[in-house]
Amino acid sequence: MLLDPAVALTFCLAALVISLVPGPDMLFIAATGLASGPRAGVLAALGMSTGLAVHTTAAALGFGALMRAFPVVFDIVRVLGAVYLLYLAVASFRSARRPEPLGQSAHRTSWARIYAKALLTNLANPKVIAFYLAFFPQFVDPARGSVMAQFFVLGALFIVVGLMVDASAGLLAGRLGDFVRRHPAVQKWLHRVSGTIFAALAVRLATDSH
């Protein structure tokens, strides 16, 4: 076996703890669920998981080493990600000025667009690969076979655990959003909260260069 069962279990428990700690991905998913409903929250979680799959592949193939060798690549991706999050923040604040009836927003915003937003948001954060390179090697044993294959297996486990947590968060946030969006004044505040979250994530990504 590529992974020792005990090591795999330890990794899954560690991944669960990491996933339960609110981070940029979970905040984005919660904001999306609040703004557009339960299905949108779950779709955002799926988009984030797809992004993690891409990051897993990139880390396994050595893109992380490229970013460490050429820090400018890291900075370019980081700045572009911050700009995109800022765009989402502005869009949310604009929506706060013209709240729509319950359910209408979800129809006007296609499910594919919600999924794509989540995917792009995850891909725009190069620190995910940095995390992979710091966390995964602790569970890799070259003596058990291909390091790349082990990386992919660990990535798959991390994605499954994270998806369960994130989808639950998106579902709960969406149900809460459905409840409070029945009141136009509250709907305005939901968009403002979403915009504030996106803006805060943009600032964090733009200013944290470590």
Radius of gyration of the chain (CA): 18
Residue 194: closest CA among 206, 207, 176, 182: 176
Alpha-carbon gap, residue 90 to 88, rounded angstroms: 5
pLDDT at 210: 52
pLDDT (tens digit per residue) in 186-195: 667 767 777 7
pLDDT at 48: 94
Q: Where does the chain have alpha helices with state H? A: 5-20, 24-36, 38-61, 63-69, 71-97, 104-108, 111-123, 127-135, 147-180, 184-207
> Sign of torsion, CA 64 118 23 169?
negative
pLDDT (tens digit per residue) in 72-111: 766 776 677 678 778 777 877 777 676 555 444 444 458 8
Residue 206: closest CA among 22, 68, 82: 82
pLDDT (tens digit per residue) in 125-151: 777 777 777 788 888 888 888 888 888
